[in-house]
Amino acid sequence: MTLLKNREAVLAFAILLLVALVATRFPAFVRPANLVNVFNDTSPLILLAIGQMIVILTKCIDLSVAANLALCGMIAALMNGAGVPLPLILALAITLGAALGAINGLLVWKLGIPSIVVTLGTMTIFRGTIFLLTNGAWVNSHQMTDGFKALPRAVFAGLPVMSWVALAAIALFTVLLTRTPLGRSFYAVGGNPHAAVYTGINVGRTQCTAFIISGALAGLTGYLWVARYAVAYVDIADGFELSVVAACVIGGVAIAGGAGSVAGAVLGALFLGVINNALPVVGISPFWQMAISGSAIVLAVAFNAAQNRQPGRIILKSVEAR
């Protein structure tokens, strides 16, 4: 556990260093208002990374999160057009996201199909469904009600609602993972599925639950995304699932399952968020941004691999006694 904490401390330090470096060339970047902006911009990534982290903990992966987000966002926009009240839209977006996640989870659990295959398939199906619903048409700003668009931007105590949602999710899932039996079983299932079975844990059901959580977060983010950018179409958040997985990997979530934390996933997302927001300000071309994000992923994985290298067998008595 100390190892994990170290890993997160290293990442937090890297983010601070990055922010400091940017500040030397562009002091306005560290103004509180701008930092709030960066956090707010990164909130969708944080929300999805938390869900993805839980899925990866259980030795699975959810590639359909971005498509799930786009489908739920589109349906939220369509419901808004049909006059459905906002609280109901929110509840239905989360429920629909969870249901889509449950499809992934049930296919993994009941049919034993590898999650990468299942979610690769559902990713395309979800995007295709948006097309079927709209015939490829966009839902634009003028077709949305003001209340629908205002919620994520509304500011409470200096932070937009979007950021508050991310903070609430961080708190909720930190407690879920560290303080509930369900959270413990995510770690057990990913750490050693065979042993988990022998301990009385239903591995498939636990994995399915992880997909439902990831889906529900994607559904919620779908509404927030569409409302904030005031547009919904087939390709919103296209390719975003890769950023989400990248945030997890940078945040020290073991891709083989069983190790990771909410804090790690959030820091991973923030790292990418800072890079994406800072580099244009400093005047670095978008091509370099991609190269830098990519290098960060490889570095993070190399760092984790070095940390996780198996210690040799403990044969010497003196070492064991220590």
Q: Which of 170, 201, 297, 301 binds other proteins (CB under 8 A)?
A: 201
192 lies in the binding site for other proteins (CB under 8 A)? yes
With CB under 8 A as the contact rule, which of the stretches 72-80, 124-132, 150-158, 192-200 interacts with other proteins?
192-200
292 lies in the binding site for other proteins (CB under 8 A)? no
With CB under 8 A as the contact rule, which of the stretches 60-68, 69-77, 126-134, 175-183 interacts with other proteins?
175-183
Q: Which residues have a Cβ under 8 Å from the Cβ of 264 and sit 6 or more positions away? A: 4, 7, 8, 11, 53, 248, 251, 252, 253
Q: Smallest distance, Å, CB 185 to other proteins?
A: 8
Mark 219-248 with x for binding to other proteins (rule: CB under 8 A) and - for no binding: ------------------------------
187 lies in the binding site for other proteins (CB under 8 A)? yes
Q: Identify the sign of the CA torsion 171, 172, 176, 177.
A: negative
Q: Which tokens in the block code for residue 283?
A: 């005047």
Phi, psi angle pair for 156, to nearest 5°: -120, 130
The CA angle 108-114-119, to the nearest 5 degrees, is 75
Q: Smallest distance, Å, CB 312 to other proteins?
A: 11
Q: Smallest distance, Å, CB 171 to other proteins?
A: 14
Q: Which tokens in the block code for residue 260?
A: 């990771």
Q: Which of 112, 200, 283, 312 binds other proteins (CB under 8 A)?
A: 200
Give the C-alpha separation, 31 to 244, whole Å: 27
DSSP class per residue in 129-153: HHHHHHTT--B-GGGS-HHHHHGGG
Residue placing its CB nearer to other proteins in the complex, 142 or 194: 194
5 lies in the binding site for other proteins (CB under 8 A)? no
Residue placing its CB nearer to other proteins in the complex, 61 or 196: 196
Q: Smallest distance, Å, CB 161 to other proteins?
A: 28
Residue placing its CB nearer to other proteins in the complex, 44 or 193: 193
Q: Judge whether 39 and 270 are in contact, CB under 8 Å.
A: yes
258 lies in the binding site for other proteins (CB under 8 A)? yes
Q: Judge whether 50 and 169 are in contact, CB under 8 Å.
A: yes
Give the C-alpha separation, 228 to 244, whole Å: 19
- Amino acid at the residue 166: A
* Residue numbers at the binding site for other proteins (CB under 8 A): 1, 178-181, 183-185, 187-188, 191-192, 194-202, 258-259, 310-311, 314-315, 320, 322
